[in-house]
Structure 1
Amino acid sequence: MSKPAIKKVVLAYSGGLDTSIILKWLQTEYGAEVITFTADLGQGEELEPARAKALAAGVKPENIFIEDVREEFVRDFVFPMFRANTVYEGQYLLGTSIARPLIAKRQIEIARKMGADAVSHGSTGKGNDQVRYEVAYYALEPDIHVIAPWREWDFKSREALLDFAEKHQIQIAKDKRGEAPFSVDANLLHSSSEGKVLEDPAVEAPEFVYMRTIAPEDAPDKATVFTMDFEKGDPIAIDSVTMSPATLLTRLNELGHANGVGRLDLVENRYVGMKSRGVYETPGGTILLAAHRGIESITLDRGSMHLKDELMPRYAELIYNGFWFTPEREMLQAAIDHSQAMVCGQVTVKLYKGNVTVIGRTSPYSLYDQDLVTFEEGKVAYDHNDASGFIKLNALRLRVAAKRDKRVKG
């Protein structure tokens, strides 16, 4: 089958070996002009070498985009997700999933600006990311052509990939010649490690896999205590120091790292149908989730809180599966954001050897009424006698059913 005529393609480009091979493959197989987009999502790597590698591969200087999107990432993607207390399958804080729609969005914006007729990514044919990228592409630009090299090319082994790289004079680092012990994805929210030494779920992950946290056993013997201020469901300050979204998450990561917070060893259900084992580190996100639930505990009424908890698994599944730019996710987001109007105040957090504990919370919009919950007599806010009718009404259907059962058995 002949390949379609592609003039320009925007590639999600890390500058690593795989995407460098993809860049050259797009040039040779499609004869296309390649535009590279490299996003600084807080992965902790120097990104300027990606520019030099792209230039060496023949990419025009004006076709190389390297952008710091950390603030946008946290403000417009991470924080909205945490307003919902989003957790996939009870544990995973979706660090990889939530980064993909932002990368896809910028690729499409660059494609429009540069007149490109295609976009490309480096995701494999077995993973979730191919779905996340491509669903986002089509949602934002329905007629865009998508090139997924890992599903198209004829390379059958890593040796074949390395042969292609050598043939086209793509620099191969010594540590890239052998099989990597595991693969890593990282951004400001988390790091994710999968594959090779982690493929057997019965075997504990070796300590060298962890890169964002010290072992809880090695954390200080003294607890770390600090405060977080919230405004409309989003954190705005630590220890009363106002910070930008990315700066605040960076600080939470530092606090979590030093106290061994945020490690997760998980076997999850991929959207494409298989199970996979991953080791995730989300130090700042783990703290944020606990603190956000803490401030919600005094500012949300029972009905709102329980409804949010019912909606959350569906919302989490949408993000995990790659459906960020969809009407249903936006509908849920509107409901979630509406619930956060009075989620304001301060939470006191204690970190100790891998644990996160909320030890205090206060808000000008608190629904906590000490007169209602006190055990002291003489308070008039709550009449104990009201409970009798309340209990009987709630038990009415059970009493009717019990009488029926007695009658049937009798």
Structure 2
Amino acid sequence: MNIEVSSSIHLMYVNEIQQEMYDSAQRRGTGIAKRSIEYLSKKITEGNAVVATDNGKWVGFCYIETWSHGQFVANSGLIVSPDFRHLGVATLIKDKVFALSRKKYPEAKIFGLTTGLAVMKINSDLGYKPVIYSELTQDEEFWNGCKSCVNYDILMKKSGRIACVQPCFSFPIMKKKVVPDIFSRIIDIIMSKKVVLAFSGGLDTSYCAKYLSETLGYEVYAVTVNTGGFTEEEEKELEKRALNLGVKKYRCINAQEDYYNSCVKYLIFGNVLKNNTYPLSVSAERTIQAQEIAKYAIETGADAIAHGSTGAGNDQVRFDLIFQVMCPDVEIITPIRDMALSREEEIEFLKSHGYESEFQKAQYSVNKGLWGTSVGGKETLTSRNSLPEEAFPSQVKEIQSSELEIEFNKGEVVAVNGEYFEHPVYAIQKIEHLASVYGIGRDIHVGDTIVGIKGRVGFEAAAASVIIKAHHLLEKHVLSKYQQMMKSQLSDWYGNWLHEALFLDPVMRNIESFLMDSQKTVSGKVFITLHPYRFVLNGIESAHDLMSDQFGSYGEANRAWTGDDVKGYTKILSNSLKIYHQINKADR
């Protein structure tokens, strides 16, 4: 991107600049003094403007005006193309035009009038200070030019032009002045636009925290949603980091029980394994995290929501879609994705803004949660290589086999080895503790991403793997074959749509109702043996077991029918097949 002092070569952009000035003023309902093509062209050819371009495309513009024989200089008409907003371009242009003003008019008082929050913040960062209108130029030409502003009548109400509290504010650089306290307080109120930032504490969201507050001028409300990935100590460390980054407020939402109640429960009911492999650990987490963040944004009255997703993965879609549905009027800001920032650029920005931290790039990216932990590394970027032992957070510590008993009540885990739990979340955590030391639940999932490419992700999900298989075994004993067939089909759709960010589609609630109803008889105990890297399902006990010997034993005894019953049944069952094959003999 080029940001340079204007010349005649930039006249090709003048029509576009003028139109965007007008359109922007109309959208915001504020007044930018109208400027003709001739006026703007003159500023450009005389070198009294700054123009930003990118590969031949107009990006931004600002010009300078002088009043009272050069005693006052205004940096006016700042405008940025909609395609390049929220990228810090306005700050760079203002910095450039300020330097141009100081170079051309070293003794002048530089000022500007604005009702825009972002410009106020930029001006403040450049050293401008608020003053009352009486300290501005009294040049009649200047005040006549203000008449096209929608706030002109208000501006002129008190003592002609002396009104210290009005919608338009000035930011001159002056050596001696007293800024009224009431004016400063009003500036603070006007500048307090809020953004809720999904905060993980990593490099990307740390960059976002600084960028949003110091470049875009937002009050940053950082929020972490704990879906099983953080200990109490880690939560405290996240809060400390967020506050050190300058956020106004930090909050950690413990959503583990809500996560289970609204999502994980149905993944168990449906025995959901994406591509018969992956328990949708991250897919499910992100959906719930996004919903909690959206609720928090509504609660705080936020003007925007931000997240640190890149443009390469599934999470950007999951976050954006949930936010658009739940907070349709709230702006979504994604600095990392929009600016395609490198790791080095993010670190340099943080250092230049006074924040130092050890952002060492880990060999493996790990995302831990209640329903499993994803693991990514150089191996998962290939189709050939597997993850080494050291890539997995839970190392094998047990080599002697052990017995595990899981008790279900209407499809939900209620007890582990005879110990009953207040909520299934704690039962899941117990199973994870017992099974993860065997290295159980490890695999690499290969699948289709939301963005249309194939992807691989490693994972370890000891509890999820054991629970789903144990639950499925119990269902084989207590559900009819058609219940199982229908459940299998609907559960596949449920998992696919959850993965594809469609959790809020009403059909998901319909499927959940079916799954819930199907669990009425899914109660009993499942007996399992744990071994290093594997487990064995030994059997079940249930009052609803349909494999009851009072009706017969497969291959051994029939107590509920006779041989003649079977002959008649078989004859009727074969009718449609006999008819088909006899009619179509000639085709064989």
The TM-score with structure 1 as length reference comes to 0.91
1:310 counterpart SS class: helix
Q: 2: distance between equivalents of 1:379 and 1:406?
A: 37
Structure 1 segments (4+ residues) deviating >6 Å: none
Residue 186 in structure 1 maps to residue 368 in structure 2: yes
In structure 1, the residue matched to 2:384 is 202
Does 1:56 pair with 2:271? no
| CA shift in 2, pair 1:403/1:379, >3 Å | closer
Equivalent residue, structure 2, for 1:224: 402
Deviation per residue, 1:37-63 (Å, 9 max, x gap)? 112222245121121122122222xx2
Q: Secondary structure at the match of 2:200?
A: coil
Matched, 1:34 2:203: no
Matches within 5 A, 1:250-399: 250-374=429-553, 380-399=559-578
Q: 1:376 to 1:249 in 2, by over 3 A?
A: closer
Contact 2:309 2:334 in 1 (8 A): yes
Contact 2:477 2:547 in 1 (8 A): yes
Counterpart Cα distance in 1 of 2:535 and 2:392: 19
Which of the residues 296, 314, 331 maps onto 1:128? Answer: 314
Code of the aligned partner of 1:13: F
Q: Is 2:424 aligned against 1:242?
A: no
Is the contact between residue 227 and residue 289 of structure 2 (CA under 8 Å) also seen in structure 1?
no
By how many angstroms is 1:286 displaced? 0.4
After the TM superposition, which of the residue ranges 292-301 and 389-398 deviates more from structure 2?
Answer: 389-398
AA in 1 matched with 2:357: I
Q: Which moved more, 1:48-57 or 1:313-322?
A: 48-57
- Relative to 1, partners in 2 of residues 1:346 and 1:282: Cα closer, same or farther, differing over 3 Å? same
Question: 2:273 & 2:553 partners in 1: Cα distance?
Answer: 34
- Structure 1, unpaired ranges of 5+: none
Cα offset, 1:234, TM superposition: 0.7
Q: 1:181 Cα deviation (Å)?
A: 2.2
1:15 to 166, 190, 201: 201
CA distance in 1, matches of 2:385, 2:336: 29
Q: How does 1:138-157 map to 2 (within 5 A)?
A: 138-153=324-339, 155=341, 157=342
Q: Which has the larger radius of gyration?
A: 2
SS at match of 1:142: coil
Report the equivalent of 1:73. Answer: 259
**Cα 1:182–1:405 shift into 2, 3 Å:** same
Q: Which one of the candidate residues 350, 356, 372 is aligned to 1:171?
A: 356
Q: Where do 5+ consecutive residues of structure 2 fail to align?
A: 1-80, 87-116, 119-192
Tell me if the contact between 2:309 and 2:336 (Cα under 8 Å) persists in the aligned partners.
Answer: yes
**Cα deviation, residue 376, structure 1:** 8.7
TM-score, length basis structure 2? 0.64
Structure 1 CA distance, aligned partners of 2:576 and 2:280? 42
Change (3 A) 1:166 1:388: same
Distance 1:154 1:309, change over 3 A: closer
CA contact (8 A) 2:287 2:318 kept: yes
Q: In 1, Cα distance between the equivalents of 2:577 and 2:552?
A: 28
Q: 1:154 to 1:98 in 2, by over 3 A?
A: closer
Aligned to 2:278: 92
Evaluate the alpha carbon distance shift between residue 376 and residue 317 of structure 1 in structure 2; reply closer, same or farther with a 3 A threshold.
closer
- 1 or 2 for the larger relative contact order (CA 8 Å, sep ≥6)? 1
User: 3-state DSSP class of the match of 1:85?
Assistant: coil
Bigger shift: 399-408 or 321-330?
399-408
